Amino acid sequence: NGYLYGLVNIAAFLGQSMKETIQYDACDENSWDLVNSKYPLSNACGQLGQSYQDYHCSEEEKHMECPVDPNMSIKGVTHAKWYGAPGPLFCGPKSEYPFTGYWDYGYECNNPWADPPEYCTDYEGQRAGRYDNTEPVENSAGRTDVEGCCWWGRGVIQTTGICNFGKLNYFLGARAAEEGRPSRYPTIDFCKDPEIICSSKEFTELKWIAGMFYWVESLQSYNERGWNYFAELHRFVDGGMSDGGSFINAVSGIVNRGCHDPPCKTGEVDGMSERAGNFDKVLSLTLLPNKDEIEIPTKAEEFSVESPHGTPSEGHDIKPFEPVKGETSAKEVLAILDQIKDRIDNEVFLYQGSEPSTVYRYQGFKSGLQVMFDSGVAGKFFYLGDDSSNGYLYGL
Predicted pLDDT at 280: 95
**165 in helix, strand or coil?**
helix
pLDDT at 61 over 90: yes
Q: How far is the CA of 21 from the CAs of 181, 246, 345, in angstroms?
A: 32, 23, 15
Q: Is the distance from CB of 254 to CB of 222 less than 8 angstroms?
A: yes
Banded model confidence at residue 292, pLDDT cuts 50, 70, 90: low
Name the nearest CA neighbour of 199 among 359, 310, 68, 86: 359
Higher-pLDDT residue of 328, 372: 372
Report how far residue 210's alpha carbon sits from residue 25's, in angstroms, rounded to the nearest whole number: 16
pLDDT at 144 over 50: yes
Predicted pLDDT at 318: 29
CA max distance for the chain:
73
Banded model confidence at residue 298, pLDDT cuts 50, 70, 90: very low
- Interacting residues of 120 by C-beta distance below 8 A, sequence separation 6+: 109, 110, 126, 127, 128, 129
Predicted pLDDT at 256: 87
Predicted pLDDT at 327: 36
Banded model confidence at residue 303, pLDDT cuts 50, 70, 90: very low
- Interacting residues of 290 by C-beta distance below 8 A, sequence separation 6+: none
Encode 233-266: b = buried (16+ Cβ within 10 Å), e = exposed.
Answer: bbebbeeebeeebebbbbbbbbbbbebbebeeee
* Mean pLDDT value across the chain: 86
Q: Is the distance from CB of 157 to CB of 215 less than 8 angstroms?
A: yes
* Mean pLDDT on 349-358: 89
- Helices marked H in 328-361: 330-339, 341-343
Banded model confidence at residue 135, pLDDT cuts 50, 70, 90: very high
The pLDDT tens digits of the residues spanning 63-120 come to 999 999 999 999 999 988 889 999 999 999 999 999 999 999 999 998 888 888 899 9
**3-state secondary structure labels for all residues of 50-91:** CCHHHCCCCCCCHHHCCCCCCCCCEECCCCCCCCCCCCCCEE
The pLDDT tens digits of the residues spanning 150-164 come to 999 999 988 899 999
Predicted pLDDT at 142: 97
pLDDT at 299 over 50: no
The pLDDT tens digits of the residues spanning 204-239 come to 999 999 999 889 988 999 999 999 999 999 999 999
Provide, rounded to the nearest whole percent, the portion of the chain with pLDDT above 90: 67
Predicted pLDDT at 2: 81
The pLDDT tens digits of the residues spanning 2-22 come to 889 999 999 999 999 999 899
pLDDT at 264 over 90: no
